[in-house]
Protein backbone atom coordinates (compact mmCIF):
# COMPACT_ATOMS: atom_id res chain seq x y z
CA UNK A 1 0.00 0.00 0.00
CA UNK A 2 1.29 3.47 -0.83
CA UNK A 3 2.30 5.61 2.12
CA UNK A 4 0.30 8.74 2.96
CA UNK A 5 1.53 12.15 1.83
CA UNK A 6 2.09 12.81 5.53
CA UNK A 7 2.81 9.50 7.23
CA UNK A 8 2.86 9.97 11.00
CA UNK A 9 4.12 6.44 11.56
CA UNK A 10 3.13 4.27 14.52
CA UNK A 11 2.88 6.09 17.86
CA UNK A 12 5.84 4.20 19.31
CA UNK A 13 8.30 5.01 16.49
CA UNK A 14 10.73 7.94 16.14
CA UNK A 15 12.43 10.21 18.65
CA UNK A 16 10.78 11.15 21.97
CA UNK A 17 9.88 14.55 20.50
CA UNK A 18 8.32 12.98 17.42
CA UNK A 19 6.44 10.47 19.55
CA UNK A 20 5.08 13.25 21.76
CA UNK A 21 3.96 15.16 18.67
CA UNK A 22 2.08 12.11 17.37
CA UNK A 23 0.64 10.73 20.59
CA UNK A 24 -2.41 12.95 20.50
CA UNK A 25 -3.45 11.75 17.02
CA UNK A 26 -6.40 9.35 17.24
CA UNK A 27 -6.89 9.17 13.47
CA UNK A 28 -3.47 8.79 11.83
CA UNK A 29 -4.43 8.50 8.15
CA UNK A 30 -2.43 5.29 7.80
CA UNK A 31 -5.21 3.32 6.10
CA UNK A 32 -4.85 0.38 8.53
CA UNK A 33 -7.43 -0.40 11.25
CA UNK A 34 -6.38 0.11 14.88
CA UNK A 35 -8.01 0.67 18.28
CA UNK A 36 -6.95 4.29 18.66
CA UNK A 37 -10.54 5.36 19.35
CA UNK A 38 -10.10 3.82 22.82
CA UNK A 39 -7.50 6.51 23.55
CA UNK A 40 -9.93 9.33 22.84
CA UNK A 41 -10.10 11.33 26.10
CA UNK A 42 -13.27 12.53 27.79
CA UNK A 43 -15.02 15.36 25.93
CA UNK A 44 -14.85 18.97 27.08
CA UNK A 45 -17.56 19.73 29.67
CA UNK A 46 -19.70 21.65 27.19
CA UNK A 47 -19.76 18.66 24.79
CA UNK A 48 -20.39 15.92 27.35
CA UNK A 49 -23.57 13.91 26.70
CA UNK A 50 -25.24 11.38 28.96
CA UNK A 51 -27.70 9.49 26.78
CA UNK A 52 -28.51 5.90 27.57
CA UNK A 53 -28.95 3.03 28.05
CA UNK A 54 -26.40 2.15 25.41
CA UNK A 55 -27.49 0.47 22.19
CA UNK A 56 -25.44 -2.00 20.19
CA UNK A 57 -22.80 -0.56 17.85
CA UNK A 58 -23.67 -0.22 14.19
CA UNK A 59 -22.87 -2.93 11.64
CA UNK A 60 -19.81 -3.17 9.47
CA UNK A 61 -20.08 -2.23 5.82
CA UNK A 62 -22.94 -4.13 4.15
CA UNK A 63 -22.77 -6.05 0.87
CA UNK A 64 -24.69 -3.40 -1.09
CA UNK A 65 -22.31 -0.67 0.03
CA UNK A 66 -19.34 -2.93 -0.66
CA UNK A 67 -20.44 -3.45 -4.25
CA UNK A 68 -21.07 0.26 -4.78
CA UNK A 69 -18.04 1.68 -3.00
CA UNK A 70 -15.45 -1.07 -3.18
CA UNK A 71 -13.88 -1.93 0.17
CA UNK A 72 -13.29 0.40 3.09
CA UNK A 73 -9.63 -0.40 2.70
CA UNK A 74 -9.59 1.07 -0.80
CA UNK A 75 -11.51 4.11 0.37
CA UNK A 76 -9.03 4.57 3.18
CA UNK A 77 -6.11 4.20 0.79
CA UNK A 78 -7.61 6.89 -1.42
CA UNK A 79 -7.53 9.36 1.45
CA UNK A 80 -4.06 10.84 1.81
CA UNK A 81 -4.16 13.40 4.63
CA UNK A 82 -1.53 16.07 5.05
CA UNK A 83 -0.35 17.32 8.45
CA UNK A 84 -2.91 20.14 8.71
CA UNK A 85 -5.72 17.88 7.53
CA UNK A 86 -4.82 15.28 10.18
CA UNK A 87 -4.82 17.93 12.88
CA UNK A 88 -8.24 19.27 11.94
CA UNK A 89 -9.81 15.80 11.71
CA UNK A 90 -8.47 14.97 15.15
CA UNK A 91 -9.61 18.34 16.48
CA UNK A 92 -13.17 17.43 15.44
CA UNK A 93 -12.84 14.05 17.19
CA UNK A 94 -11.50 15.59 20.42
CA UNK A 95 -13.95 18.52 20.54
CA UNK A 96 -16.99 16.44 19.47
CA UNK A 97 -17.71 19.00 16.78
CA UNK A 98 -18.89 18.45 13.19
CA UNK A 99 -16.20 18.65 10.50
CA UNK A 100 -17.23 20.91 7.61
CA UNK A 101 -15.20 19.79 4.59
CA UNK A 102 -15.19 22.11 1.57
CA UNK A 103 -13.48 21.84 -1.79
CA UNK A 104 -14.00 21.17 -5.46
CA UNK A 105 -15.72 17.99 -6.66
CA UNK A 106 -13.43 14.98 -6.60
CA UNK A 107 -11.08 16.16 -3.86
CA UNK A 108 -12.00 13.32 -1.50
CA UNK A 109 -14.47 15.05 0.81
CA UNK A 110 -16.86 12.11 1.12
CA UNK A 111 -14.01 9.59 1.15
CA UNK A 112 -12.69 11.17 4.34
CA UNK A 113 -15.69 9.90 6.32
CA UNK A 114 -15.16 6.33 5.08
CA UNK A 115 -11.42 6.50 5.78
CA UNK A 116 -11.98 7.54 9.41
CA UNK A 117 -14.69 4.91 9.92
CA UNK A 118 -12.46 2.18 8.48
CA UNK A 119 -9.29 3.06 10.36
CA UNK A 120 -10.99 3.55 13.74
CA UNK A 121 -13.36 0.58 13.40
CA UNK A 122 -16.52 2.70 13.68
CA UNK A 123 -18.66 0.55 11.38
CA UNK A 124 -20.88 1.47 8.47
CA UNK A 125 -20.98 5.13 7.51
CA UNK A 126 -24.45 6.62 7.90
CA UNK A 127 -24.94 8.63 4.70
CA UNK A 128 -27.44 11.49 4.45
CA UNK A 129 -27.45 12.85 0.87
CA UNK A 130 -28.83 16.39 0.79
CA UNK A 131 -30.94 17.85 -2.03
CA UNK A 132 -32.89 21.08 -2.35
CA UNK A 133 -36.02 19.54 -0.77
CA UNK A 134 -34.24 17.94 2.21
CA UNK A 135 -35.54 18.90 5.66
CA UNK A 136 -34.20 18.26 9.15
CA UNK A 137 -37.01 15.75 9.70
CA UNK A 138 -35.74 13.63 6.79
CA UNK A 139 -32.50 13.07 8.66
CA UNK A 140 -34.07 12.46 12.07
CA UNK A 141 -36.95 10.06 11.43
CA UNK A 142 -39.92 9.20 9.23
CA UNK A 143 -43.42 8.48 10.50
CA UNK A 144 -45.85 6.82 8.11
CA UNK A 145 -49.14 8.09 9.55
CA UNK A 146 -51.07 7.19 6.40
CA UNK A 147 -50.03 3.52 6.55
CA UNK A 148 -51.00 3.39 10.21
CA UNK A 149 -54.44 4.86 9.47
CA UNK A 150 -55.03 2.45 6.61
CA UNK A 151 -54.03 -0.56 8.72
CA UNK A 152 -56.34 0.59 11.52
CA UNK A 153 -59.26 1.01 9.13
CA UNK A 154 -58.69 -2.39 7.54
CA UNK A 155 -58.53 -4.05 10.96
CA UNK A 156 -61.70 -2.25 12.13
CA UNK A 157 -63.57 -3.24 8.97
CA UNK A 158 -62.54 -6.87 9.32
CA UNK A 159 -63.68 -7.01 12.93
CA UNK A 160 -67.01 -5.35 12.07
CA UNK A 161 -67.61 -7.97 9.39
CA UNK A 162 -66.86 -10.72 11.89
CA UNK A 163 -63.96 -12.04 9.87
CA UNK A 164 -62.03 -14.74 11.74
CA UNK A 165 -58.42 -13.86 12.45
CA UNK A 166 -58.97 -10.16 11.70
CA UNK A 167 -55.64 -8.33 11.34
CA UNK A 168 -54.37 -6.38 14.33
CA UNK A 169 -52.53 -3.15 13.44
CA UNK A 170 -49.00 -2.88 14.78
CA UNK A 171 -47.98 -0.47 17.49
CA UNK A 172 -46.85 3.04 16.66
CA UNK A 173 -43.25 1.90 16.51
CA UNK A 174 -44.05 -0.20 13.45
CA UNK A 175 -44.60 3.01 11.49
CA UNK A 176 -41.47 4.87 12.63
CA UNK A 177 -37.96 4.61 11.22
CA UNK A 178 -34.95 6.67 12.25
CA UNK A 179 -33.02 8.48 9.55
CA UNK A 180 -29.22 8.65 9.35
CA UNK A 181 -28.95 11.66 11.68
CA UNK A 182 -31.39 10.14 14.15
CA UNK A 183 -29.46 6.85 14.12
CA UNK A 184 -26.14 8.65 14.62
CA UNK A 185 -27.53 10.24 17.80
CA UNK A 186 -28.47 6.93 19.43
CA UNK A 187 -26.49 6.35 22.66
CA UNK A 188 -23.48 4.22 21.71
CA UNK A 189 -20.17 3.58 23.45
CA UNK A 190 -18.14 4.75 20.44
CA UNK A 191 -19.18 7.38 17.92
CA UNK A 192 -20.97 6.55 14.68
CA UNK A 193 -19.77 8.25 11.50
CA UNK A 194 -22.37 10.41 9.76
CA UNK A 195 -21.77 11.79 6.27
CA UNK A 196 -24.00 14.79 5.46
CA UNK A 197 -23.23 14.90 1.76
CA UNK A 198 -23.38 18.19 -0.19
CA UNK A 199 -24.98 20.38 2.46
CA UNK A 200 -24.65 23.33 0.07
CA UNK A 201 -27.39 21.76 -2.09
CA UNK A 202 -29.97 22.32 0.68
CA UNK A 203 -32.51 25.12 0.87
CA UNK A 204 -31.73 28.16 2.99
CA UNK A 205 -33.30 26.78 6.19
CA UNK A 206 -31.57 23.43 6.72
CA UNK A 207 -28.17 24.71 7.99
CA UNK A 208 -29.94 26.80 10.64
CA UNK A 209 -32.32 23.96 11.50
CA UNK A 210 -29.34 21.73 12.28
CA UNK A 211 -27.96 24.07 14.95
CA UNK A 212 -30.01 22.94 17.94
CA UNK A 213 -29.64 19.21 17.22
CA UNK A 214 -25.86 19.52 16.79
CA UNK A 215 -25.61 21.60 19.98
CA UNK A 216 -27.81 19.46 22.19
CA UNK A 217 -27.02 16.02 20.77
CA UNK A 218 -30.64 15.00 21.17
CA UNK A 219 -34.10 15.34 19.66
CA UNK A 220 -37.71 14.50 20.45
CA UNK A 221 -40.15 12.36 18.51
CA UNK A 222 -43.51 14.08 19.20
CA UNK A 223 -45.53 11.05 18.07
CA UNK A 224 -43.87 9.00 20.83
CA UNK A 225 -43.91 11.76 23.44
CA UNK A 226 -47.70 11.93 23.17
CA UNK A 227 -48.04 8.25 24.14
CA UNK A 228 -45.12 8.13 26.60
CA UNK A 229 -47.41 7.82 29.64
CA UNK A 230 -48.96 4.65 28.16
CA UNK A 231 -45.93 3.37 26.20
CA UNK A 232 -42.72 4.67 27.81
CA UNK A 233 -40.63 2.27 25.71
CA UNK A 234 -41.24 1.82 21.97
CA UNK A 235 -39.19 -0.27 19.56
CA UNK A 236 -38.46 1.37 16.19
CA UNK A 237 -36.16 0.60 13.27
CA UNK A 238 -32.96 2.58 12.84
CA UNK A 239 -31.21 3.44 9.58
CA UNK A 240 -29.33 0.13 9.75
CA UNK A 241 -32.61 -1.81 9.84
CA UNK A 242 -32.08 -2.90 13.46
CA UNK A 243 -34.67 -2.55 16.22
CA UNK A 244 -33.81 -0.03 18.94
CA UNK A 245 -35.78 1.09 21.97
CA UNK A 246 -36.80 4.74 22.32
CA UNK A 247 -37.65 5.80 25.86
CA UNK A 248 -40.08 8.61 26.69
CA UNK A 249 -40.08 9.76 23.09
CA UNK A 250 -36.55 11.22 23.13
CA UNK A 251 -33.16 10.18 21.77
CA UNK A 252 -29.93 11.53 23.27
CA UNK A 253 -26.41 10.51 22.32
CA UNK A 254 -23.65 9.28 24.62
CA UNK A 255 -20.70 9.42 22.22
CA UNK A 256 -21.27 12.38 19.90
CA UNK A 257 -21.04 11.12 16.30
CA UNK A 258 -18.18 12.04 14.00
CA UNK A 259 -20.14 14.22 11.58
CA UNK A 260 -18.62 15.05 8.20
CA UNK A 261 -20.57 17.73 6.32
CA UNK A 262 -19.35 18.23 2.76
CA UNK A 263 -19.77 21.25 0.52
CA UNK A 264 -18.65 22.04 -3.01
CA UNK A 265 -18.48 25.72 -1.96
CA UNK A 266 -21.53 26.62 -4.04
CA UNK A 267 -22.92 28.79 -1.22
CA UNK A 268 -21.97 30.44 2.05
CA UNK A 269 -23.18 29.08 5.38
CA UNK A 270 -24.49 31.15 8.30
CA UNK A 271 -21.98 32.16 10.97
CA UNK A 272 -23.81 30.27 13.77
CA UNK A 273 -23.24 27.00 11.89
CA UNK A 274 -19.62 27.81 11.04
CA UNK A 275 -18.71 28.52 14.67
CA UNK A 276 -20.06 25.12 15.69
CA UNK A 277 -17.86 23.30 13.16
CA UNK A 278 -14.21 22.57 12.55
CA UNK A 279 -13.58 23.76 8.98
CA UNK A 280 -11.31 21.82 6.63
CA UNK A 281 -10.64 23.08 3.09
CA UNK A 282 -9.33 20.40 0.72
CA UNK A 283 -7.15 21.50 -2.17
CA UNK A 284 -6.79 19.83 -5.54
CA UNK A 285 -5.11 16.39 -5.32
CA UNK A 286 -1.62 15.91 -6.69
CA UNK A 287 -0.38 13.29 -9.16
CA UNK A 288 0.36 10.60 -6.58
CA UNK A 289 -2.97 11.03 -4.85
CA UNK A 290 -4.85 10.82 -8.15
CA UNK A 291 -2.86 7.75 -9.14
CA UNK A 292 -3.83 6.15 -5.82
CA UNK A 293 -7.50 6.90 -6.52
CA UNK A 294 -7.20 5.27 -9.96
CA UNK A 295 -5.44 2.22 -8.50
CA UNK A 296 -8.11 1.84 -5.83
CA UNK A 297 -10.92 1.86 -8.41
CA UNK A 298 -9.35 0.38 -11.53
CA UNK A 299 -6.22 -1.50 -10.50
CA UNK A 300 -2.48 -1.07 -11.02
CA UNK A 301 -2.45 -1.84 -14.74
CA UNK A 302 -4.96 0.85 -15.71
CA UNK A 303 -3.25 3.31 -13.37
CA UNK A 304 -0.01 2.78 -15.30
CA UNK A 305 -1.75 2.99 -18.67
CA UNK A 306 -3.56 6.16 -17.66
CA UNK A 307 -0.56 7.98 -16.21
CA UNK A 308 -0.44 10.40 -19.15
CA UNK A 309 -4.15 11.17 -18.75
CA UNK A 310 -3.57 11.90 -15.06
CA UNK A 311 -0.83 14.38 -16.00
CA UNK A 312 -3.08 16.09 -18.59
CA UNK A 313 -5.95 16.17 -16.10
CA UNK A 314 -3.75 17.90 -13.51
CA UNK A 315 -2.49 20.43 -16.07
CA UNK A 316 -6.02 21.34 -17.16
CA UNK A 317 -7.33 21.49 -13.58
CA UNK A 318 -5.07 24.49 -12.91
CA UNK A 319 -7.36 26.66 -15.02
CA UNK A 320 -10.54 24.57 -15.36
CA UNK A 321 -12.99 23.02 -12.93
CA UNK A 322 -12.84 19.25 -13.39
CA UNK A 323 -14.00 16.27 -11.32
CA UNK A 324 -12.04 13.14 -10.48
CA UNK A 325 -14.82 10.84 -11.67
CA UNK A 326 -14.35 12.31 -15.17
CA UNK A 327 -10.75 11.09 -15.07
CA UNK A 328 -11.84 7.63 -13.89
CA UNK A 329 -14.40 7.40 -16.70
CA UNK A 330 -11.81 8.44 -19.27
CA UNK A 331 -9.15 5.97 -18.13
CA UNK A 332 -11.63 3.10 -17.96
CA UNK A 333 -13.08 3.77 -21.41
CA UNK A 334 -9.95 4.70 -23.31
CA UNK A 335 -8.08 1.51 -22.45
CA UNK A 336 -10.69 -0.28 -24.61
CA UNK A 337 -10.21 2.12 -27.53
CA UNK A 338 -7.67 2.07 -30.35
CA UNK A 339 -4.81 4.60 -29.95
CA UNK A 340 -6.05 7.04 -32.67
CA UNK A 341 -9.32 7.66 -30.81
CA UNK A 342 -7.95 7.59 -27.27
CA UNK A 343 -7.16 11.29 -26.91
CA UNK A 344 -10.40 12.34 -28.57
CA UNK A 345 -12.45 10.14 -26.22
CA UNK A 346 -10.61 11.51 -23.19
CA UNK A 347 -11.34 15.10 -24.26
CA UNK A 348 -15.00 14.26 -24.80
CA UNK A 349 -15.33 12.80 -21.31
CA UNK A 350 -13.28 15.38 -19.44
CA UNK A 351 -15.25 18.56 -20.08
CA UNK A 352 -14.76 21.62 -17.93
CA UNK A 353 -17.55 22.11 -15.40
CA UNK A 354 -17.27 25.84 -14.74
CA UNK A 355 -18.89 27.01 -17.97
CA UNK A 356 -21.48 25.61 -20.42
CA UNK A 357 -20.23 23.87 -23.52
Cα distances (angstroms) measured from residue 34 to each of 67, 121, 281: 24, 7, 26
Confidence of residue 178 (pLDDT cuts 50, 70, 90): very high
Confidence of residue 3 (pLDDT cuts 50, 70, 90): very low
β-strands 193-197, 126-129 pairing: parallel
Q: What is the pLDDT of residue 68?
A: 44
Q: What is the pLDDT of residue 154?
A: 78
Task: Write the CB contacts of 154 (distance below 8 Å, at least 6 apart in sequence).
Answer: 167, 169
For the ranges 83-87, 136-140, 198-202, 323-327, the lowest mean pLDDT is seen at: 323-327
Residue 242 pLDDT exceeds 80: yes
pTM summary value: 0.83
Confidence of residue 202 (pLDDT cuts 50, 70, 90): very high
Residue 258 pLDDT exceeds 60: yes
Mean pLDDT of the chain: 85
Q: What is the pLDDT of residue 64?
A: 43
Classified by CATH at the fold level, domain 32-139+175-281 comes out as Rossmann fold (3.40.50)
Q: What is the pLDDT of residue 324?
A: 85
Q: What is the pLDDT of residue 286?
A: 83
Residue 169 pLDDT exceeds 80: no
Confidence of residue 21 (pLDDT cuts 50, 70, 90): low
Confidence of residue 46 (pLDDT cuts 50, 70, 90): very high
Residue 356 pLDDT exceeds 70: no
For the ranges 18-22, 49-53, 110-114, 335-339, the lowest mean pLDDT is seen at: 18-22
Residue 33 pLDDT exceeds 60: yes
Confidence of residue 122 (pLDDT cuts 50, 70, 90): very high
Give residue-wise pLDDT tens across range 267-293. 889 999 999 999 999 887 888 888 888
* CATH 3.40.50.300 residue window(s) in the chain: 32-139+175-281
Confidence of residue 156 (pLDDT cuts 50, 70, 90): confident
The pairs formed by 347-353 with CB atoms below 8 angstroms and a separation of 24 or more are 350/313, 350/316, 350/322, 350/326, 351/326, 352/316, 352/320, 352/321, 352/322, 353/105, 353/320, 353/321, 353/322, 353/323
DSSP result, 255-317:
S--EEEEEE-SSS---HHHHTTSEEEE-----HHHHHHHHHHHH-HHHHHHTHHHHHHHHHHH
Mean pLDDT of the 319-333 span: 89
- For residues 86 and 7, the answer to whether their CB atoms sit within 8 Å is no
Residue 329 pLDDT exceeds 50: yes
Distance CA 328, CA 108 (A): 14
Amino acid sequence: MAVPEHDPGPPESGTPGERAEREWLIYRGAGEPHDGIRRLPEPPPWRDFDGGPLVAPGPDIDSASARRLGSYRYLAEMHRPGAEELELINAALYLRRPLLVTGSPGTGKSTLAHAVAYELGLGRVLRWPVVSRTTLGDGLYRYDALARLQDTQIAAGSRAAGAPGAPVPGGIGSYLRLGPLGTALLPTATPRVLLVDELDKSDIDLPNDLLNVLDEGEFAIPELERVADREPEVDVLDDDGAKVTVRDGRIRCRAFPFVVMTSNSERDFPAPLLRRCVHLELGRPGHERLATVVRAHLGDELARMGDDLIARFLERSRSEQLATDQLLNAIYLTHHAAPPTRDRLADLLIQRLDRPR
